[in-house]
């Protein structure tokens, strides 16, 4: 029998046997709905976890040298080398924040922190208005403007104490980029290119899983005189946590999905077997008229796959609706995979009843009252 004729016969048979077809639609619908409402939410939670753990804040390696240190390990040369590592997305240095106030108001004005940054300011902040500062100039955040009583990004700020630093003219506003959210409460200014040393090195990695190698490489560049000379805040533990949680999510999701699919497959197999037994005379008649065993198997499997496809479509719609109500939509690749798996499972579960029907002696089947 030609494939087109076999498919047409399967459609007719599935339509005639409405009760078994409806049961298969219902079972596959429940299977897909349960998979998306449970395992799908787990997949969505795993995806959200990866996104949060892969944010810049979870990929930053921070190395701090005590301000009292005289080795000047963090300097323009070592910052440039750290930025050139293959694992580095961006790197910059910073000095310990100092308090500044509105120069037009003077003593008694509100104070905000100001960070001196060595490197490309675009790696730390986004320019909202004005222009990028040059030496002797600074940017202020929106919150910093309010605290400094600035109506617009203009004027100047000065250190709150006499520490030998000059004033900075305000030339624009900024919004901090991850992981430099602390800068959003104050002022940033570029450090002189001739600066001898800075106190902190921030290295944002491409991937948190590269934390161990990156930390070893950065410390090799800085080459501290003693192991405790530098303070290191590494995303290494975060990367390890990510791997552990991802493994737990994956194991739980696979176990639950296998349970849902296995239960659905068992029930579909029972329905198909019952249908085969009820319609054994029809199948025996086909065998007696010359239909091969392969045709009988194909017919039973196809007439199972057709309602299973309808059930999977309806189940995906219902499952996505439930998952959306909890704001936990699963990834599209998981959704597509669930549809394919549900149809395959239903089809495979029909193979054993189909083989049973195809191997019966048609003469004995037709003699059965």
10-residue block means of pLDDT along the chain (369 residues)? 74 82 90 80 66 62 76 85 92 91 84 92 94 94 92 89 76 92 93 79 84 87 82 67 62 78 89 83 70 82 90 88 75 83 90 82 57
pLDDT of residue 318: 87
Please identify, among 211, 236, 261, the residue that sits at the C-terminal boundary of a domain.
236
250 and 360 fall within a common domain = yes
**CB-facing half-sphere around the CA of 167: CA atoms within 13 A:** 13
Sign of torsion, CA 53 55 61 65? negative
pLDDT at residue number 48? 64
pTM equals 0.56
Cα–Cα separations (whole angstroms), residue 110 to 102, 175, 185, 326: 8, 20, 12, 45
Question: Same domain, yes or no, for 221 and 336?
Answer: no
Domain co-membership, 232 together with 251:
no
Residue 244: other Cβ atoms inside 10 A: 10
Query: Which one, of 93, 82, 131, 142, lies nearest residue 115 by Cα?
Result: 93
What per-residue confidence (pLDDT) applies to 277?
Answer: 80
210 and 248 in a single domain? The answer is no
Asked if residue 105 and residue 152 are part of one domain, the reply reads yes
Report how many domains make up the chain. 2
Can you give the residue range of the structural domain that contains 128? 61-236
CB proximity list for 366: less than 8 A, separation 6 or greater: 281, 284, 285, 288
Last-in-domain residue among 220, 236, 252: 236
* 225 and 256 housed in the same domain: no
Q: 225 and 332 in one domain?
A: no
Same domain, 222 and 247: no
Write down the pLDDT at residue 67. Answer: 64
Do 44 and 111 sit in the same domain of this protein? no
Residues 348, 265: contact at Cβ < 8 Å?
yes
Answer with the one of 204, 219, 236 that is the final residue of a domain.
236
Report the relative pairing of strands 187-190 and 88-94 from DSSP bridges. Answer: unpaired
Q: Say whether both 214 and 75 belong to one domain.
A: yes
Note whether 70 and 207 are same-domain residues.
yes
Same domain, 85 and 218: yes
Question: Cα separation of 305 and 242, whole Å?
Answer: 39
Task: State CA 293 to chain mean position distance.
Answer: 48
């Amino acid at each position: 029998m030609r494939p087109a004729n076999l498919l047409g016969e399967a459609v007719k048979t599935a339509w005639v046997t409405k009760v078994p077809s409806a049961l298969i639609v219902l079972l596959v619908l429940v299977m897909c709905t349960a998979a998306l409402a449970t395992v799908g939410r787990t997949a969505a939670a795993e995806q959200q976890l990866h996104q949060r753990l892969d944010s810049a804040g979870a990929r930053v390696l921070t190395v701090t040298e005590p301000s009292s240190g005289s080795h000047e390990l963090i300097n323009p040369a070592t910052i440039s080398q750290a930025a050139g590592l293959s694992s580095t997305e961006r790197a910059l240095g910073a000095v310990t924040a100092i308090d500044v106030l509105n120069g037009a108001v003077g003593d008694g004005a509100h104070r905000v922190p100001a960070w001196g940054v060595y490197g490309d300011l675009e790696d730390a902040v986004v320019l909202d208005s004005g222009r990028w500062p040059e030496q002797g100039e600074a940017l202020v955040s929106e919150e910093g403007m309010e605290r400094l009583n600035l109506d617009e990004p203009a004027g100047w700020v000065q250190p709150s104490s006499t520490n030998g630093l000059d004033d900075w003219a305000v030339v624009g506003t900024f919004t901090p980029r991850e992981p430099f959210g602390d800068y959003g409460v104050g002022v940033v200014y570029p450090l002189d290119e001739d600066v001898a040393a800075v106190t902190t090195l921030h290295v944002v990695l491409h991937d948190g899983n590269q934390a161990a190698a990156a930390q070893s490489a950065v410390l090799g560049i800085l080459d501290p005189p003693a192991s405790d000379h530098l303070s290191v805040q590494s995303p290494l533990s975060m990367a390890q946590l990510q791997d552990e949680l991802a493994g737990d999510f994956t194991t739980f999701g696979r176990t639950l999905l296998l349970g849902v699919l296995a239960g659905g497959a068992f029930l579909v197999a029972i329905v198909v077997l019952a249908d085969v037994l009820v319609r054994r005379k029809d199948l025996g008649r086909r065998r007696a008229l010359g239909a091969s065993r392969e045709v009988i198997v194909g017919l039973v499997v196809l007439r199972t796959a057709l309602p299973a496809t309808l059930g999977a479509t309806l189940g995906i719609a219902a499952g996505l609706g439930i998952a959306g109500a909890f704001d936990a939509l699963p990834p599209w690749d998981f959704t597509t995979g669930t549809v394919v798996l549900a149809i395959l499972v239903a089809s495979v579960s029909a193979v054993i009843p189909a083989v049973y029907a195809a191997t019966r002696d048609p003469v004995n089947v037709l003699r059965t009252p």
